[in-house]
Each structure stands twice: as C-alpha cells, then as structure tokens.
C-alpha cells in the first residue's frame, strides 16, 4: 500500500505500466487530479513511455540465446553438486553422531571421587589449609599414595601458582598447608588434580583472596565542648598474625547528631600501623552525640563522643586515708586538702564525711563533719561498725564507700568518693597445684600465694601442717613446696 504523503511522484511510472494494485491505481489517479506537481510528473512519464514505444522491435541474436542457455545449464550443474555435498555432509554428521553416541554409551563412570573441603575465602599473604579426600566408590575405601597437585590461577590472566604437591596417606586423605600470595582484586580458581594411574581426577573451585584488618579507633577524651578539637587515632593490625598494617590509607570522618558529615580526612598508617587526625569543632555547633568513624577498605571502626557545654570543677579536692583496708570496729583517720584551680587554698570550708555500703542504695553508716584551716587542709575521724554485710564475690569481705563533700563560704561544692575493704582476714592465702589437682604417688609442686585484701602481694612467713620447715614468700608473695600425696585428698592447715 502506498504510504500517505504529500506527493506520489515515485509511483507514476508504475501507474502507467499498470504495475500497481487496483486501490493504489485509484489513489494515484485521484491524487494527480488535485496535485499540480504530481500531474506534471505523470505527463513526463507518459512522454517517456511514448518514446520507448516508438522504438522499432529488435531480434535477439542466436549467439546470445545460446550463451544464456549455457550459463543456465552451468548454474543447474553447480546447484546439483552443492545439494550432493550437503547431503553427504548430513550423512557424515549422522554417522559421527551415532559413533559418539555409541562411544558414550559404552563409557563407564570413574570409580574415584576427589573431594576438597575448605573455605571459599582466604586471607591474602597468610597460611591456609585444605582437606583433600580421594575415595574409591567401588571398594568404599580411600586411595593411598596418590600424587596430588594444588594450584591457584587467576581467571582473567596471570601465572598459575603451585601451592602444594603431596601424596595421600593410607586412608586416602591429606591436609596440605601452604602460603597464599599477597594479591587481591581479581577472581581465582583453585585447581586440585589427582593422578590415579593413567586417569586423572580434578576439582575446580572459585576462590576469593581478600585482606582483613583489625581496626581500633580512639579519641583523647569522651566529652568535648564547642570550639575544642577532637584528636583521633587509629591502630590497624592484620587479622591473621596481628602485624601492624603500614602504608595503608585510612579515612577519618565525624558526623553531627543530625547525620551531617562535618569532617573527613585521609591519612596513611605509619610503620607501626598508626594514623591520626584532628577535627576542630566550631564555636556554634549542634550539641549531642557525634559519630566518629575510621575506614580501612572494608573494615570500619566507630565510636561516639559527646559534644556539650560543661563547667569544670572550681575546687580540687584530695582525700587521703591512713590505711588501704580496715578491720571491723577500726578507727579511720583521714586528711583532706582543698584548693581552687587558680592555686588559692579553700579556707574555713565546711567538710561533711558520709560512710555507707558499696551499693548506692545502701543505708548510711556514719556521718561526721569537719572544717578546713587557712591553708585548705583538714582532718576527720570515724569508727567502722563492728557488724557489716560481706559479699561472696569478695570472699566474705565487706566494702564501704566514703564520700567527702566540701562547701566553701560562697556555697560552691565538690565531692570525692573512696572505697575501702573491711575484712577480718588481713592476709589472703591461695593454694595452687601445678597441674590443677594433686596426683597421688608422684611428686607435685604446690604454689602458695599470699596477698593483702587490696590486692598487693604480701611478704610473709608460712607454716604448713605436716611440713617441718617454715616457708617464706618473696616480694611477689609467692613460694612453693613439693609433696608426694598417697591419697587423692590432702588436708592442710596453713598459717601466714
């Protein structure tokens, strides 16, 4: 069908030779009646047709007819040869397909099963291992003394790396250990080949080499004021052997409570695996929890710091007690020293000392008051109650909390708390056999450790029932003795 358009100039010759369809003939005729351009093209086409029809008829020479007949005959012979060749190829294909079918029909499955057990991801530049099993399914047993090669090849390009060559043991298994290359960034194939006689069994597995780090991010303090600087430091270690990751690029970033990134800086780790950055805060900044992060490739370490306005204490208060631990009913002597941060002593200030149990909800045990002198010092005393509640975690000992609060003449307050252990056993004794338990009939070394309730080693003299000599612990509070028990249970009385 003639596509609709502005003109039908290209179809006027076909119209005169009646080579168009009836509907197309009608469309061209009607279009030329109303279009002057197409009407002129139709008149020129009629003139060309009249010139062609005025030419005298010409008889074709016999030589030309014979030459055309010969060419047609040659074309027919060539077509017959092509058809014969195609049929021969089809017959050969059928014969080959049948032969292949018979060949594969006569094949038997291999009785050997090569199994490779291991991880799909390995750490680059580290030691790795596999479990290889060669199993004979016909005998349901392992195949021993078979050479096996393990290779690692990059899928795209690069040399093939031989990781291990070994032989299976009598059970048909082996566990090779090998060193991996320090290369990442592309896909690898693990190839395991076993030569069983003239046959070869192989397994190919995709393997990914990656690097993995341990990254620890720290800041110089947990709370900052607007206008201060956040000092950041990161330590990067290899996950496998914990070696420092030197020369690695890290990225520090700080986000405000709304999630806006206000700081971003790149740095390179030193030969000790350490990198640092400083984030200055604006004087007018959104207060709240700021997210601090450090990135080392795919490893991220995060922490949260608080940014808010705070007021430093105006008074520096020091409290000293006469002993590191006490007995029930003991007299406690304390000394305080208070001074303003610009150096002037806090004179004639009221001091209140409150003693209670270790728990914040514990009842108040003692309360005393004192005053500071002109140089900002003062003393206080109180007596510990005879009866206190101990805890199982502290071996029956009790803990008291001593809160000292000072208030100057301007009403400014400062509080400091201390903890002390209250015990009836001033020396603790621990008995530790060298193997965890005594072995009857053999010489056993038994270690004795003596310490004070606050954890300090105690230099003591020790007497053990059944031992005719006295033992002495050194500066570390340790001594030992050798015994050969005849029974599984031994009872001693030890006095330090």
Task: Please report whether residue 389 resides in a domain.
Answer: yes
Tens digits of residue pLDDT in 293-322: 999 988 899 999 999 998 777 889 999 999
Whether the pLDDT of residue 97 is over 80: the answer is: no
**Mean pLDDT calculated for residue range 186-202:** 85
| DSSP conformation letters of 111-134 | SEEEEEE--SEEETTSEEE-EEEE
Q: Report pLDDT for 29.
A: 85
**Quick check: 152 pLDDT over 80?**
yes
pLDDT of residue 483: 87
Report pLDDT for 1.
64
DSSP state of 345: B
In a domain, 217, yes or no: no
Given a cut of 60, whether residue 495 has pLDDT beyond it is: yes
Residue-level pLDDT at 341: 86
The pLDDT of residue 59 = 64
Indicate whether 204 and 121 sit together in one domain: yes
What pLDDT score was predicted for residue 160?
Answer: 85
CA dihedral 232→238→244→247, nearest 10 degrees, is: -80
pLDDT at 100 over 70: no
CATH number for the domain harbouring residue 478: 2.60.40.10
- Could you give the CA distance from residue 250 to residue 261 in angstroms, rounded to a whole number? 16
Q: Which of 77, 92, 107 is the last residue of a domain?
A: 107
Structure-block tokens of residue 138: 């016909």
User: Across all residues in the chain, what is the average pLDDT?
Assistant: 86
Average pLDDT over residues 158-172: 87
Q: Element (H or E) spanning 51, and its range?
A: helix 36-54
Residue range 27-32: mean pLDDT, rounded:
85
Q: Do 166 and 101 fall within a single domain?
A: no
Residue 270: how many CA atoms within 13 Å on its side-chain side?
8
Supply the pLDDT for residue 254.
96
Domain membership flag for residue 298? yes
For residues 416 and 319, membership in a common domain is answered with yes
Average pLDDT over residues 121-128: 82
pLDDT level of residue 447 (50, 70, 90 thresholds)? very high
For residue 375, pLDDT over 60 is answered with yes
* pLDDT on residue 82: 74
* One domain, residues 176 and 194: yes
Specify whether 321 is located in the same domain as 412: yes
Domain tally, the chain: 6
Where in the sequence is the domain holding 89, given as residue range(s)? 67-107
Banded model confidence at residue 60, pLDDT cuts 50, 70, 90:
low
Q: Which of 17-21, 337-341, 383-387 has the lowest mean pLDDT?
A: 17-21
**Domain presence at residue 383:** yes
Look at residues 288, 307, 326 and tell me which one is the last residue of a structural domain. Answer: 307
For strands 199-210 and 121-123, give the pairing: parallel
Give just the sign of the alpha carbon dihedral 139, 140, 144, 147: positive
Residue 108 above 70 pLDDT?
Answer: no
**pLDDT the model gives residue 304:** 94
Spatial neighbors of 295 by CB under 8 A, at least 6 apart, are 250, 251, 253
Burial 173-195 (b: 16+ CB within 10 A, else e): bbebebebeeeeeeebebbbbbe
Residue 223 has pLDDT above 60, yes or no: yes
Query: What's the pLDDT band for 373 if we cut at 50, 70, 90?
Result: very high
- 106 pLDDT higher than 60: no
Query: Do both 162 and 191 map to the same domain?
Result: yes
Does 449 lie in the same domain as 354? Answer: no
Asked if residues 474 and 442 have their Cβ atoms less than 8 Å apart, the reply is no
Does 159 lie in the same domain as 201? Answer: yes
Percent of the chain with pLDDT over 90: 36
Q: Is the pLDDT of residue 104 over 70?
A: no
60 inside domain: no
Same domain, 413 and 432: no
Domain limit, last residue, from 391, 422, 453: 422
Pairing between β-strand 223-224 and β-strand 299-307 as defined by DSSP bridges: parallel
Residue 443 predicted with pLDDT over 60: yes
Residue 490 lies in a domain: yes
Domain assignment present for residue 265? The answer is: yes
Beta bridge partners of 358: none
* Model pLDDT, residue 405: 94
Q: Mean per-residue pLDDT for 366-391?
A: 90
Does residue 222 lie in a domain region?
A: no
116 shares a domain with 102: no
Least confident of 65-74, 315-324, 412-421, 461-470: 65-74
pLDDT for 116 beyond 80: yes
**Mean pLDDT to the nearest integer, 20-33:** 85
CATH number at residue 414: 2.60.40.1930
pTM beyond cutoff 0.85: no
Q: Output the pLDDT for position 211.
A: 73
Considering the domain architecture, whether residues 258 and 293 belong to the same structural domain is answered as yes
Where does the pLDDT of residue 449 fall: very low under 50, low under 70, confident under 90, or very high at 90 and above? Answer: very high
In whole angstroms, what is the distance from residue 202 CA to residue 37 CA? 80
281 has pLDDT over 90: yes
> Do 241 and 278 share a domain, yes or no?
yes
**pLDDT bucket at 287, cuts 50 / 70 / 90:** very high
Q: What pLDDT is recorded for position 466?
A: 82
What is the residue-wise DSSP string for 207-274?
EEEE--EEEEEEES-SEE-TT-EEEEEEEEEETTT--B-TT-EEEEEEE-TTS-EEEEEEEE--TTSE
pLDDT of residue 355: 92
| Whole-number percent of the chain with pLDDT over 70 | 94
């Amino acid at each position: 069908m003639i596509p609709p358009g502005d003109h039908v100039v290209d179809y006027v010759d076909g119209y005169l030779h009646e080579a168009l369809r009836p509907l197309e003939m009608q469309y061209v005729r009607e279009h030329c009646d109303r279009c002057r351009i197409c009407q002129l093209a139709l008149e020129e086409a009629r003139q060309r047709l009249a010139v062609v029809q005025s030419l005298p008829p010409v008889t074709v020479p016999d030589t030309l007819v014979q030459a055309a007949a010969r060419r047609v005959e040659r074309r027919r012979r060539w077509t017959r040869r092509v058809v014969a060749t195609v049929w021969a190829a089809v017959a050969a294909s059928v014969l080959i397909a049948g032969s292949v079918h018979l060949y594969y029909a006569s094949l038997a499955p291999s009785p050997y099963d090569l199994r490779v057990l291991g991880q799909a991801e390995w750490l680059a530049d580290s030691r790795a291992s596999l479990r290889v099993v060669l199993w004979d399914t016909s005998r349901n047993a392992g195949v021993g003394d078979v050479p096996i090669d393990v290779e690692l090849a990059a899928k795209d390009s690069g040399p093939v790396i031989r990781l291990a060559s070994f032989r299976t043991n009598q059970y048909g298994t082996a566990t090779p250990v090998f060193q991996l290359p320090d290369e990442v960034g592309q896909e690898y194939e693990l190839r395991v080949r076993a030569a069983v006689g003239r046959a070869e069994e192989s397994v190919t597995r995709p393997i990914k080499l990656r690097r993995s780090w341990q990254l620890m991010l720290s800041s110089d303090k947990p709370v900052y004021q607007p206008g201060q600087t956040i000092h950041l430091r990161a330590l990067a270690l290899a996950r496998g052997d914990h070696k420092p990751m030197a020369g690695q690029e890290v990225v520090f970033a700080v986000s405000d409570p709304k999630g806006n990134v206000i700081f971003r800086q790149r740095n390179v780790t030193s030969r000790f695996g350490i990198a640092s950055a400083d984030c200055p805060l604006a004087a007018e900044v959104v207060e709240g929890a700021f997210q601090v992060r450090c990135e080392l490739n795919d490893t991220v370490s995060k922490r949260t710091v608080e940014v808010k306005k705070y007021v430093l204490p105006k008074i520096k208060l020091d409290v000293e007690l006469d002993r590191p631990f006490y007995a029930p009913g003991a007299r406690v002597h304390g000394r305080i020293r208070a001074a303003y941060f610009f150096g002037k002593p806090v004179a004639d200030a009221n001091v209140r000392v409150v003693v209670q149990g270790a728990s914040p909800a514990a009842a108040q045990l003692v309360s005393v008051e004192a005053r500071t002198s002109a140089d900002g010092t003062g003393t206080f005393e109180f007596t510990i109650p005879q009866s206190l509640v101990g805890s199982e975690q502290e071996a029956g000992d009790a803990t008291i909390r001593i809160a000292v609060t000072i208030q100057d003449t301007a009403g400014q307050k400062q509080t400091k708390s201390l903890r002390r252990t209250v015990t009836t056993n001033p020396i603790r004794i621990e008995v530790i056999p060298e193997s965890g338990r005594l072995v009857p009939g053999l010489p056993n070394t038994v270690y004795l450790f003596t310490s004070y309730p606050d954890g300090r080693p105690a230099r003591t003299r020790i007497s053990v029932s059944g031992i005719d000599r006295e033992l002495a612990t050194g500066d570390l509070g340790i001594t030992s003795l050798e015994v050969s028990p005849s029974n599984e249970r031994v009872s001693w009385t030890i006095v330090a």
